[in-house]
Structure 1
Amino acid sequence: MADLGLPAEGLFVGRVWRAGVGPCVVTVRQGRVVDITTKAAPTMRDLLEQADVVAFVAGIAGEDLGALVDIAAASVEPVGEVTHLLAPCDLQAVKACGVTFARSMIERVIEERAAGDASRALAIREKLGGILGDNLRHLVPGSEKAMEVKRLFKAEGLWSQYLEVGIGPDAEVFTKAPPMAAVGWGASVGLHPISQWNNPEPEVVLAVSSKGQIVGAALGNDVNLRDVEGRSALLLGKAKDNNAAASIGPFVRLFDTSFSLDDVRSAELTLRVEGTDGFVLDGRSSMAEISRDPADLVAQAWGRHHQYPDGFMLYCGTMFAPVQDRDGPGQGFTHHLGDRVVIATPALGALVNTVRFSTEAPEWVFGAGALMRNLAGRGLL
C-alpha cells in the first residue's frame, strides 16, 4: 500500500492531520483510513490507556477519510493544508535505548576512539575485531562473562563508557524527542547541518502505557550524528534531538491474538537508503540478536524510579552500523541530502522518509498546547 507494506492482518492505529480539522486518531480497515477520534480517546495517549485497547478500537464505527494509498501519497513531505500521516504518538514521551546490540556497541566505541573523525574508523575497527573475536557472542549484560570482557578491554586500555552500558548491568536510556516532536511516514527527517558523519538507525519502537504495559509496536528511525556524539558522549542531546530527527510509523500495531511481544523479539528489520547520486545501501537489524530483552528495556525506563503519566514510546536500539564506503576509501557511510530511507519488517510495514537538514525540514510549531486548544475547540475535551 503506497510503500507502507502493511500486512493484511493486524490492528493498526495512528494519527493523521485532517485538512481543516487538525490531528485525529485513526485506524486502518480494509485499506481505508478511519477517523476514530472520540471524547473518550481524543489523543493516542488516551487511546493506548484504555483497559482493552483492541476491543475499544473495534467498538468505534468511525468516519472513513479515504483510501490509505491516497493519504500516503499526500504524506510525502506534504505542503499546505492536506490530509496526511503523522507520527502515531502525541503526548507520550519519546525515549530511546542505545548500545543494545554488540555490533552497534563496537561502532559507538569506534566513534569515541576516532573522536568523530570517520577516516580513523577502519583502523580502530580492525584492532577491536582482533581483540574481541567471539567474546561478545550471546553475552548477557551484567553477567560474569560480561565482566570478563570488561577486564579484557581494560587490560588493553580500550575500556569505554559505551562498553559500560553495552555489557554492564544498566542500559542507556535517553530522551530522543519531546512529546509531539516526532515525524511520521513520508516526512522529512532532519540532520543537524554541523554533522559530516551520520546514518539512519532502523529500530522497533514500543508503545508503552502509563502503567508500564507494552501495548504495541511501530518502526522508527533514530537518526544518528556519529561525529557529534563521537566528539563527546555529553553531546548526546545535540546528536539525537534535533528538528525532525525522530521518525516513527507508519502506525502502531496493537498486541492482539495475531501479534505479540514475541513477534517483536523475532523481528527482522531491513533498511534501504537510495541516494539521488545513485548510491544504494542495504542493511538489516535482527531483534533476535539484541543483548537486552525489550521487556527489560521497558523496566529500565519505567518503574518506581520513573513514571510516565502519558505513557512513552521507546526505541529499542539497532544492530545496524554502516561501514560501506560512499564518498571515498575508508570514509564509511554518511547521508547525502535527498536520501530516501526505507525501514521495513513484514509485521509492521515500512517507514519511509527523505533526508534533509534539520534547518530545512518544516519547523516544529504544533506542540502540546496547540493540541489542547485544537481539541477544546472541537469539543473533545
Structure 2
Amino acid sequence: MFIFRYREGTNLNLAALADDGRAYRLEAPDLMTLVRQAREAGDTTADFVRSRLREDLRIDVPAQSLDLATPLDAPEVWAAGVTYQRSREARNFEATEGREDKETFYDKVYDAERPELFLKSTAARTVGPGELVCLRRDSSWQVPEAELGLVLDRTGAIVGYTVGNDMSCRDIEGQNPLYLPQAKIWRRSCSIGPYVRLAETVADPYALGIACRIYRGGEKVVDETANTNQLKRRLDELVRFLIRDNEVFDGTVLLTGTCLVPPNQFTLQSGDRIEIEIEGIGTLANTAVYADEWEAKLA
C-alpha cells in the first residue's frame, strides 16, 4: 500500500495506490492524519486505508501520469552519514585528496557507537518527483545520493518508507568537516517521493535493491546499483539516536545514508536527469539546474 499526493488545478490531493495497482483519492488531508485515525480505530494504517477505498473515489488514470508532489510536507528531513562501506570510502577520498590508506574521522564514525546524524532539509527546501533540484555555484564536485527514507511520527515510530535524494557537494565537505551544513543544505537540495510505502507492507527493509541512474543529453552516464543489506547500522538504531533528547515532529523523514556514489571523476551538470529507484517503493526523478537558473525561471 502506497500513499502519495498529486496536484489537480490549485488543489493538492491525498491518494493511495492499492496492491492491484489502482489509485484512489483519500478523504484525509495528509498522511499523518491517516496514521492517527488508524490508531484511534485500532487498525494498521494499511488496513484502515483499504477499508476506505471506494469505487467512486477511484482515479481513472495511472498514478504515474498524475502531477505528483512530495508525498508529505516533511517539517524536517534528517540524514545519516557513513552508514555504508562505500560511503566511508568516498568520504575518505574527499578528505585525504585520494590517500585512501590514511585513517580519518570517517573511519572512526563508521565504527563508533554513535552514528553521524545531521539536519538535511526543511519542507521549504524539499522538492518532489519531476521537480528541479538545485546545484551550488561555489562547488565543482556535486553528486546526488540515493537513500532509503524513513517517515517517522513524533515518537520515532517508522510509519513508512520513501525514496530520498541527498544532494551533496563533495569538494566542500572534503575541505573541512565543519563545512558540512554548506555541503548539504541549500535551496532545493533535497527531494523525496514519489510515494510512501506503509511500513507494515514491507516484509524486509534490509533487502531492497537501490539504483541510481544519471542521464546527460539523453545518454546514461551513471548507472549504479546496491542493496540495503549493505547497511551497517540498524534502522531502529538510527532512529533511537535521532530522538534522543530531541524533539521530532510528525512526518519527519530520516534518510539512512547512501551506498551509491558516482565515480570520483563525476560531477553533476545543469540539465542532468537523476533517477533513484528503490525496489518496491518507487522511482524518484529530478533534473538538476543551478540555483540562479531556477530563480531566472521564476522571474
Post-superposition CA distance 1:346-373 (Å, at most 9, x none) = 311211111112333379x9xxxxxxxx
Structure 2 counterparts to residues 169-248 of structure 1, below 5 A: 169-248=113-192
| TM-score normalised by the chain length of structure 1 | 0.70
Q: 1:44, 1:91 within 8 Å by CA — same for their partners in 2?
A: no
Structure 2 counterparts to residues 204-353 of structure 1, below 5 A: 204-256=148-200, 258-260=201-203, 262=204, 264-276=205-217, 278=219, 280-303=221-244, 305-323=245-263, 332-353=265-286
Seen in structure 2, the aligned counterparts of structure 1 residues 230 and 43 have a Cα distance that, compared at 3 Å, is: same
- Residue among 62, 67, 88 paired with 2:61: 67
Cα deviation for residue 34 of structure 1 reads 2.7
- Matched AA of 1:110: F
Q: 1:91, 1:180 within 8 Å by CA — same for their partners in 2?
A: no
Work out whether 1:162 is the aligned partner of 2:106.
Answer: yes
Higher normalized strand content (fraction of residues) = 2
Distance in structure 1 (CA, Å) of the matches to 2:163 and 2:116: 20
Q: Which consecutive aligned stretches of 4+ in structure 1 deviate over 6 angstroms post-superposition?
A: none
Seen in structure 2, the aligned counterparts of structure 1 residues 353 and 316 have a Cα distance that, compared at 3 Å, is: same
Structure 2 counterparts to residues 18-37 of structure 1, below 5 A: 18-21=8-11, 23-29=12-18, 30-37=20-27
What is the aligned partner in structure 2 of residue 48 from structure 1?
Answer: 35
Post-superposition CA distance 1:251-281 (Å, at most 9, x none) = 011123x423x2x111120111111174521
Q: 1:201, 1:221 within 8 Å by CA — same for their partners in 2?
A: yes
- Matched AA of 2:13: C
Q: 1:265, 1:294 within 8 Å by CA — same for their partners in 2?
A: no
Which residues of structure 2 form unaligned runs of 5+?
none
Cα deviation for residue 321 of structure 1 reads 2.1
Seen in structure 2, the aligned counterparts of structure 1 residues 20 and 54 have a Cα distance that, compared at 3 Å, is: same
What is the aligned partner in structure 2 of residue 376 from structure 1?
Answer: none
Which residues of structure 1 form unaligned runs of 5+?
1-10, 73-83, 115-120, 129-157, 325-331, 366-381
Cα deviation for residue 70 of structure 1 reads 6.2
Distance in structure 2 (CA, Å) of the matches to 1:12 and 1:351: 14
Cα deviation for residue 180 of structure 1 reads 4.6
- Matched AA of 2:47: A
- Percent identity at matched positions? 28
Distance in structure 2 (CA, Å) of the matches to 1:320 and 1:345: 12
Larger radius of gyration: 1
Distance in structure 1 (CA, Å) of the matches to 2:169 and 2:60: 38
Distance in structure 1 (CA, Å) of the matches to 2:293 and 2:238: 34
Q: Give the superposed CA RMSD.
A: 2.3
Distance in structure 1 (CA, Å) of the matches to 2:224 and 2:293: 27
Distance in structure 2 (CA, Å) of the matches to 1:211 and 1:281: 38
Seen in structure 2, the aligned counterparts of structure 1 residues 64 and 180 have a Cα distance that, compared at 3 Å, is: farther
Post-superposition CA distance 1:267-311 (Å, at most 9, x none) = 1201111111745211123211111111211111124x1131324
Distance in structure 2 (CA, Å) of the matches to 1:217 and 1:210: 16
- Matched AA of 1:282: D
| TM-score normalised by the chain length of structure 2 | 0.88
What is the aligned partner in structure 2 of residue 88 from structure 1?
Answer: 71
Post-superposition CA distance 1:176-222 (Å, at most 9, x none) = 11135321111112111211101111111111111211121111111
Seen in structure 2, the aligned counterparts of structure 1 residues 91 and 206 have a Cα distance that, compared at 3 Å, is: closer
Distance in structure 2 (CA, Å) of the matches to 1:185 and 1:238: 24
Number of positions where the alignment pairs a residue of Structure 1 with one of Structure 2: 289
Q: 1:192, 1:358 within 8 Å by CA — same for their partners in 2?
A: yes
Cα deviation for residue 160 of structure 1 reads 2.5
